[in-house]
Structure formats: structure tokens, C-alpha cells
């Protein structure tokens, strides 16, 4: 077959497929047009927001969060669940906001969660073993989170947390984390 004959054959095939498209139902043609729009290259725009990775050190779970779109309550509850009993409770929505605000303040792409929800039985066990936990800890109500940020001095993170005037702020310098809760405003230091 000569080149000219091959070219004519290709043109005939293209023309017949275009004609076949005219006989497709209107819905199919519209779907085809929409899919072509999605296949196009993305347009130039603004750079997407940097994700913040929340890492629970006890459960070893990660949650990547877009600062412009906070995760669902269920995702947060699961991330901050009690690592000892694996129990989940409804966490205060302000806690995820404070973790994201801390990440933004210190330009961090990761926040390390030390503790979130603490089941009352686990809390009692810790008290009996002599750990520094309150009898009616805000952790047992889903109102507290202990956290740190890599490469940010704990004392600096603590000073920032106090300025938030959200609730309780505890400094655990030797353990290298801070506590924040949504209870009454108060401050303390622990080990």
C-alpha cells in the first residue's frame, strides 16, 4: 500500500468515527466532552497549601491535614483515641484548630501528639502508678491534647500556648511536651 493510499484510508477512518459520534445519544456526547475537560492540563494558579502531618506517638497513626480544609470529627477522634484501650470519644473541635495554629505559628509540617483521649480506667491506672495525671483529667472528657513540635523548644511552644487563652496549659519540660485543654484558663508545670 502506498503512502497516499494509507493517508486516504486514515482520513476515511477518522471521518467515519466522527460521523459515528454524531449518532451517539446526546448524554454520551456530553459525558465525552466533560471527560475531555478533565483530561486537560491543570491551569497555572496558586501553590496549594502545605499539608500538616499529625502523628500520634502512641498509636503510630498519621493524619495529613490541609490547613484550608480541616479533617472530619471522626478522623480527629480516631487519631486522638486512647492508645491503651483503643477507645474513641468525641474530641473538642478546638483541639484540631489549636494543633493547626501551632503548626502555622512555627512553620512546621508535623505536630507530634503525645496524648489525646484517655479512658477513665486508664487514667485511674496511671494515677495509681504515681504518674502526674489529674483525677478528673480533661483528657478523660476529650478536651485535652499533649503535643510537641520537632525543632521547637518546649519552653517557646509553652509561651505561645499561654497567649492563646484557650484553657489549661501545662509545661512538661523534662518530658518535652505541652498540654493544652479547653477547660478553665490555668497554668502549671510538671515533669
Residue, of 35 and 10, whose pLDDT is higher: 10
Report whether pLDDT(43) > 90.
no
Per-residue pLDDT at 50? 87
Check pLDDT > 90 for residue 85: yes
Q: What does the pLDDT average to over 46-75?
A: 92
Least confident segment among 44-53, 111-120, 161-170, 171-180: 44-53
The confidence score (pLDDT) of residue 75 equals 97
Q: Rounded distance, CA 128 to CA 125, Å? A: 5
Q: What percentage of the chain reaches a pLDDT higher than 70?
A: 80
C-alpha 159/C-alpha 115 separation (Å) is: 20
133-165 exposure pattern, b = at least 16 Cβ within 10 A, e = fewer: bbeebbbbbbbbbbbbbeebebeebbebbeebe
pLDDT at 16: 58
pTM, entire model: 0.74
CB 187 within 8 A of CB 162: yes
Domains with residue ranges and CATH for the chain = 3-39 (no CATH), 52-190 (3.30.1380.10)
Q: Is the C-alpha dihedral spanning 106, 188, 173, 124 positive or negative?
A: negative
Mean pLDDT of 64-87: 95
The span from the CA of 128 to the CA of 162, in Å, is 30
CB atoms within 10 A of CB 67: 13
Q: Quick check: 105 and 97 in contact, CB under 8 A?
A: no
Amino acid at each position: 500500500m502506498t503512502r497516499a493510499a494509507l493517508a486516504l484510508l486514515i482520513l476515511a477512518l477518522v471521518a467515519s468515527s466522527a460521523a459515528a459520534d454524531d449518532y451517539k445519544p446526546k448524554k454520551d456526547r456530553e459525558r465525552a466532552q466533560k471527560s475531555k475537560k478533565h483530561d486537560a492540563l491543570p491551569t497555572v494558579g496558586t501553590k496549594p497549601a502545605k499539608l500538616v502531618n499529625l502523628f500520634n506517638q502512641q498509636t503510630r497513626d498519621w493524619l495529613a491535614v490541609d490547613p484550608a480544609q480541616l479533617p472530619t470529627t471522626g478522623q480527629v477522634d480516631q487519631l486522638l483515641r486512647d492508645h491503651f484501650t483503643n477507645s474513641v470519644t468525641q474530641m473538642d473541635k478546638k483541639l484540631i484548630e489549636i494543633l493547626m495554629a501551632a503548626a502555622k505559628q512555627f512553620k512546621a509540617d508535623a505536630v507530634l501528639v503525645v496524648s489525646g483521649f484517655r479512658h477513665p480506667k486508664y487514667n485511674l491506672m496511671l494515677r495509681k502508678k504515681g504518674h502526674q495525671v489529674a483525677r478528673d483529667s480533661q483528657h478523660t472528657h476529650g478536651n485535652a491534647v499533649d503535643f510537641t513540635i520537632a525543632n521547637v523548644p518546649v519552653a517557646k511552644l509553652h509561651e505561645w500556648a499561654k497567649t492563646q487563652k484557650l484553657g489549661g496549659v501545662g509545661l512538661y519540660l523534662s518530658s518535652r511536651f505541652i498540654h493544652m485543654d479547653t477547660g478553665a484558663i490555668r497554668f502549671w508545670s510538671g515533669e
